[in-house]
Structure 1
């Protein structure tokens, strides 16, 4: 997988924050429900602009830190979720003490990491009985126009992972449990374009490819009648996973 794509998001941090969806609280609560309510020391790894961080910060009893390899993304996170400590780092190398956390969670990020190395490193910083949580907001491509939109914007490493066996974790974590939530998000044409602009394929593409993507998106939105401030409901499936550290 391309390191360039994995570390490209800071160039579009504003588009990412403005266009990417937050995570349903119910899904985040489910990932952490095995932890005691009174003490939840949680690291959001691959935190980006804080889409998952802000939901974690609202969970009862949570003490949250945010970690990402991109300083530009963390700068946007500090604007969006003030007061949460931020650190540069990645899942395979965390500058944290052994057994110092109750949980590590990754939103929209596990497909960018080496699962064996990341599982071992996260297992080092999570106490025995603690949780590894993984979560994705996935567009529902079973809807015809959404499938066409995905084809225009190109597939992602996350989509490729779910077309296969899905995410995997390694020792010291047990087998993943999974759960899904379905919901819709009203989107204007402008916000849909910003969503495309925030994707790693678009960020790293040539200018001609970028223009072609926007032109094809506009043709689709014209067909759907999405103009100006009009919105279309973009369906999502939030897919969450949790595993317990041995």
Structure 2
């Protein structure tokens, strides 16, 4: 996952720093390697061996958007990167993206620009991946399920081992001063309640602006309600979404 994450960072910065013509961007291969955090002193063969597999996995990552009513379903299916071409002899890389995902690219870059946490998490790839996800959440996010964080890391190990990886990564984020959290359980669902996030890794002048939220205790939720909350979480619906829905009526 280390190389995949670094290569994705390189893709994001490539579209941000170079002129995009239509849906494509072109830049020197050596510069692309630098944007991926790979030393340019490495030979072309080593660069290719590190970048090529990651580009294939990124280009093979499918993203879909769907909307379903009682009678009909609309779905749009695309890839994280539409195509990638490179030639080490000519020192060139060409990347093609789906224009509908440019907003995603820009948002991910905004997160990655706050590199204090990333730099403090060197060689801690799982914590880096969770950082980019958590930092993209809205203010006062709803509790995040352990299952959702496992899915974000896309690990292939047994679930028990994945849970350990998630908990270790969350603890590493707390150790560097980025966040504080409490792990709770609602029914069968384990959740992380984020109290605050500090991209600069230090308290703000006005700590009240962080609006820490006290987590609900398991006793506050009935078993029936816990099952309903677990179902909503599987559907990707947060309590904030429900609150906005009721307020709009």
Task: Give the strand-richer structure, 1 or 2.
Answer: 1
Q: TM over 0.5, yes or no?
A: no
Which structure has more relative contact order (CA 8 Å, sep 6+)? It is 1
TM (normalized to structure 2)? Answer: 0.29
Task: Give the helix-richer structure, 1 or 2.
Answer: 2
